[in-house]
């Protein structure tokens, strides 16, 4: 009888120990949730996170508070997330910059994004366009490459700063397509776009979101898109991948959590966020801004993140790209 009782009590205690975790996952959220956006207010990541946070607040009854923690191309906010409790009440809303920075900041960062962050959901993807100033006498990527090789000086290509996705795309153009282009760094997407519109540089890679108005006004000419498939806004534009199989890049946005988060809690958070992504106001904003709503599974996001880190690492090392 005593042995049977002891076995019974062990089972009871084991079940009881699991109940708090099950309850936490099933009832999340029961208090305000902090969403760290590692960039300044007003950008695409900030606006998307606020729209999603507002929607989730309405459906769960709990506040989702956006905290902008800008610095080091998003790495400061990412580190703050890693150092937070893995209880589902601190989430990171990050962009594709993390795919680049995993390699670029490897010797400086006090954490490893691949090991210390758990992907929850890839929310959306925004393609970049290869753009030229109208004065550049080309109408295709092939013509652009030929023009760049006609003289030793080549062409000037603007980008948003060392290690940004626009910089990496420009470096891909040099490495994979053999373009004779001198990279010129600007402090962000706005200054880069202003520079090419003014004719200071010949070409750049910019998101469809930021460049669409200038294209419509005839101030910029698009030649190709950087994602694997043609985009709805410009269905006739070829993809860089169709010409150069390894050339693929997008500016994605997604949610991550500290890697220590319990699996059942991560699943619960994913499901709540998935409902928010389906809301017309959220999807409508993403599409209006030239993006594609995704709403991936955690596994799909993790696979995409790993593949991008590996692809960009090759470009960074081959181009000897560094941050000051």
- pLDDT for 215-273, tens place per residue? 999 999 999 999 988 988 899 999 999 999 999 988 899 999 999 999 999 999 999 99
Domain with CATH 3.40.190.150 in the chain: 31-125+250-318
The CATH number of the structural domain formed by 127-243 is 3.40.190.10
Closest CA relative to residue 207, chosen from 100, 289, 139: 289
Provide the β-strand partners of residue 128: 207
Range(s) for CATH 3.40.190.10 in the chain?
127-243
- pLDDT tens track for 151-176: 889 999 999 887 788 999 999 999 99
**Domain with residues 31-125+250-318, CATH architecture:** 3-Layer(aba) Sandwich (3.40)
Q: How many Å apart are CA 55 and CA 257, to the nearest integer?
A: 19
Q: What is the full per-residue pLDDT of the chain (324 aa) written as tens digits?
A: 466 655 555 555 555 555 454 556 778 999 999 999 998 887 778 889 999 999 999 999 999 999 999 888 889 999 999 999 999 999 999 999 899 999 999 999 999 999 999 999 999 998 899 999 999 999 999 999 999 999 889 999 999 887 788 999 999 999 999 999 999 998 888 889 999 999 999 999 998 888 989 999 999 999 999 998 898 889 999 999 999 999 998 889 999 999 999 999 999 999 999 999 999 999 998 888 878 899 999 999 999 999 999 999 999 999 888 886
Beta strands in 5-116 (DSSP E): 33-37, 64-68, 90-95
What's the rounded Cα separation, in Å, for the pair 43 and 52? 14
Of the chain, the end-to-end C-alpha distance in Å amounts to: 72
Q: 293 in helix, strand or coil? A: strand
Q: Angle between the 263-277 and 44-60 helix axes, to the nearest 10 degrees?
A: 100
Chain CA centroid to CA 323, Å = 19
> What pLDDT, on the 0 to 100 scale, is given for residue 130?
98
Counting Cα atoms < 13 Å in the Cβ hemisphere of 46 gives 11
DSSP state of 103: H
Residue 258 token pair:
């500290």
């Amino acid at each position: 009888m005593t042995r049977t009782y002891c076995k019974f009590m062990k089972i009871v205690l084991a079940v009881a120990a699991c109940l708090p975790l099950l309850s936490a996952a099933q009832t999340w959220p029961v208090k305000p949730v902090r969403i760290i956006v590692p960039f300044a207010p007003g950008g695409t990541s900030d606006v998307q996170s606020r729209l999603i946070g507002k929607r989730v607040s309405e459906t769960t009854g709990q506040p989702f508070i956006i905290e902008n923690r800008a610095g080091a191309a998003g790495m400061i906010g990412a580190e703050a997330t890693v150092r937070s409790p893995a209880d589902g009440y601190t989430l990171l809303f990050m962009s594709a910059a993390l795919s680049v920075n995993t390699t670029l900041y490897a010797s400086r960062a006090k954490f490893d994004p691949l090991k210390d962050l758990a992907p929850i959901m890839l929310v959306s993807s925004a393609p970049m366009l290869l753009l030229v100033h109208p004065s550049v006498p080309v109408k295709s990527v092939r013509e652009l490459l030929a023009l760049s090789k006609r003289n030793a000086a080549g062409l000037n290509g603007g980008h948003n700063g060392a290690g940004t996705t626009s910089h990496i795309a420009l470096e891909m153009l040099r490495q994979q397509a053999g373009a004779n282009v001198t990279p010129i760094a600007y402090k962000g997407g706005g200054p880069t776009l202003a520079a090419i519109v003014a004719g200071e540089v010949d070409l750049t890679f910019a998101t469809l979101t930021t460049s669409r108005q200038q294209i419509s006004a005839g101030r910029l000419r698009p030649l190709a898109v950087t994602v694997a498939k043609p985009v709805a806004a410009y269905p006739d534009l070829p993809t860089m991948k169709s010409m150069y199989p390894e050339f693929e890049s997008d500016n994605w946005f997604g949610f991550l959590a500290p890697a220590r988060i319990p699996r059942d809690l991560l699943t619960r958070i994913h499901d709540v966020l998935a409902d928010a992504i389906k809301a017309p106001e959220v999807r409508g904003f993403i599409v209006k801004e030239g993006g594609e709503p995704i709403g991936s599974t955690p596994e799909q996001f993790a696979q995409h993140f790993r593949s991008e880190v590996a692809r960009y690492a090759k470009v960074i090392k081959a181009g000897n790209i560094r941050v000051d």
